[in-house]
Structure 1
Amino acid sequence: MSDEEKKAKDGDAGERKDDRGLGFTSEGGGFITAEDTAGNTKVGGSAGGGEGEAQNGEKPGTADPRSEARAFGEPEEGEERQGNTTPGVKAPPMSGEPRVVEGAALAKAGGAGEPPGGYADVPKAEGAEPAGGAAEAQVSSADAEREAKVKAAAEARAARLAAKAAQTAEAGDAPAAERAAPTDAEKEAKAKAAAEARAARVSARTTKTEGAEPEAPKEPSPKQPLLDRLTAILKEFHDGIVEDAVINEKGGHIPTVYIKAEAWRETADMLRIHPELGLHYLRNVSGVDMETHMEVVYHFISLDHKQDYCFKVKTDRENPSIPSITPIFPTADWNEREIYDLFGIDFPGHPDLRRIMMADDWVGHPLRKDYEPIDPEV
C-alpha cells in the first residue's frame, strides 16, 4: 500500500461518530460536541479543507477556541461572564432573576380573558353607561341609606335622653329608686285592672261550664286506689289537712292532693318516713300564678315502690307564704329561692331565702301575671 493510500485511509478514520452524534478525534483523543461542530470546527477529511486540515488552517481534531468559548457559555472579548456557569452545563436562572412568562404581556395589558390592551379600544354601544356606573350608583345608594339609619337612631337616642332629663328635672333631687318606683295611685289602678280581668275570666269559665251539656260518666282511673289510700293515710295523720284530691289524667294519672299551707311542713316530714309511702325523693318544685291565688307544686317519687305523687299548696295572692321544707328535703333549697324571686312567694324557715336570678334591687316578680316592668326597654 502506498503512502498516499495510507494517508487517505488514516484521514477517513480521523473522525468517528458514536450513537450520540458526538465526534472523537483520533489525534490526542479530543472530544467535540455538536455545538462545536456547528461552530465551523472541522476535523480531518471534512469538506472545504486540505488533507486532514480545517478551514482555519489548524490541525485536524483541534477546535476553534472562540467557538468552544461560545459553546460552553464563555463570554467573548469585551463581554462579562453571566452567572456561575460550568463548561458544558447551562447555568440555571437565579432566584431573583426576572423571568419572562408567556401571556404576561397580555395579562398586564388587558387581564385574563380580555383582548390585548383591555377593552379601551372596544367600541361601546350607543347610550351605554360605563361598566362601573351601576355599581357606583348602588354603593352610593347603600351609603345614603346607612347614613339615614344612623341619623334616625341618633335622633331617637337624643329624644329618649331629653325625655329622661325632663323627668329628672321634674322629680328634683329625689333618689333614682324613688323616681323609678310607681306611685300608690298607679299601683292601685294596676291592681284594680288585674282583678277585673281575673274576675272576667273566672266568670267566662263558669258560664261555659254551666251551659255545657252533662258529660258521660268516666271510667275510674287505674290510679284511683292509690289516691284513695293516700287520702286515708293523710286523714289518719291529721284530720282536716286535705283540701282536695284528684287524678291528674293529663299528667299520666298522677294522684294529686291539695294540702293546707299551715300543715304542709309536718305533712312533708310524714310522707318521707311513712313505711307505706316512702317518698324520700323530691323530684321537682314549681310555682304557679292562678290569678285568683298562688300555688306551689311538689312532685315526689317513691324509689322503693316506683310510684310518684303530686302535692299542691295554695296561698294568698296578696301576701303569699308557704312553710319551707328545705330543712327536710335539701333539694328544695334553690327551687324555693327561684319561686320567691320570680313569683314573690315567701318561704318561712328557709335558711337562705334571697333572689337567685334577678338583681337584689329588682322591683317586682317577673313571672306574676300582674307584673309590670318599670323600664319597658328591659
Structure 2
Amino acid sequence: MKIAVIGAGSWGTALSTVLADNNHDVVLWTRREEQAREINEERSNYKYLPGFTVPESIRATDSFAECVENTHVILLVVPTKAIRETVQRLLPFIGEDTTLIHASKGIEPGTSKRISEMIEEELGDKKVQSIVVLSGPSHAEEVCKRKPTTVTVSSETEEAAERVQELFMNEQFRVYTNHDLIGVEIGGALKNIIALGIGMNDGLGYGDNAKAALMTRGLAEIARLGVKLGANPLTFKGLSGLGDLIVTCTSQHSRNWRAGFKLGTGYELEDVLEEMGMVVEGVRTTKAVHELAKRLQVDMPITEALYDVLFNGKKPPEAAKQLMGRVRKNEEELASLFLGTGDSDRS
C-alpha cells in the first residue's frame, strides 16, 4: 500500500521506517529539496537523526502532489502550527476513502482545539473515511533503531483504529487501540508541559524528590483538564498518559526536557529555541492550555508556573518557590479522578 507521510522531521522519518519495515510503499514529503535529495541519495537525515540510515525503500520528495496523489492513507507528522495549512493543501487530493492519521502532539493557542478538531475544521464539508491519532511513549531515535516501542491509536470508530493498528504493528512496534480520542490527544499534548518543568527542575539541580512530585502532580493536572473536556480518566493511566509522561520527562532524547533544562540553567527562552533549531511543542502548548484552563476554571498550578516563566519573565527558582508555597491540599483528588468519583476541579 502506498502511504504518504507529510513531515520529514525525526518522528516522521521514524514512522516512515516502521511502515517501510512492514513492506508499505512510503513516500516522505519535505518542504526542502536539499533534504529530499539527502534522503534519496545519501540515505541520511542528519539534522534530525544523525547517524541513522534511512531504508532504501523510503522515497522522499519536495513535491506535495507527488507524495499524496494516488493514496488512501496519509500520515501527518508536522508541528501543530502547520496542521491547518497542511490540511488545506490536502483538500484537492483526498476523498471519502481517505484515512488521515496524525502523530502530532499539541493544543492550538487561541482556539484551544485539539489536532483532530483542527483537521475537522479545515476539512469543512469535505468527507474522509476517518481521522486517527497515533500517540504514546516513543522517541524517534529508539524507533529507528528498532528498539521495542508501544503506542496507542484512537479514532471515533474502532474499525478505523484497527485498520491503522494493522498498518503499523510489527515485532518491534506494538500498537494498542483506545476509543478515547479526547484523552489520547490531551495526554500526548500536555505531557510536553510537564516535561518542560522536569527539565527545568533538573537544570536547577533540585533532584529526584522534586522530579517525582512534579510528574505525579503533573499527571493530576493532565487528568483534571482531560476529564473536564470529556476524556475517560483511565486513559491517563495508559500509554498515551502516564507512559508518554514518563518517557518525555526522563529522557534526554526529549526536546521539551532539553529546553526546560536550559531554562533551568539560566538561558532565555528565545536563546533556547534558537539553539535547538527544532519545534518545542511544550512552549506553544503551555500558552494554549493556560488559556483553556482559565476559561474552564480548572486549577493547573504547574502549568501556571511554567506559563509565568515562559511568557511573564518569572525566574525558574521563583516559580518553584511559588509551587512549594501553595496552600495545603488533600492528595485524594488524584485517586478520585482515576476512579471517576469526586470533583475533577479540586486543586
Normalised to the residue count of structure 2, the TM-score between the two structures is 0.23
- Structure with greater helix share of residues: 2
Normalised to the residue count of structure 1, the TM-score between the two structures is 0.22
Instruction: Report 1 or 2 for greater relative contact order, CA contacts < 8 Å, sequence distance ≥ 6.
Output: 2
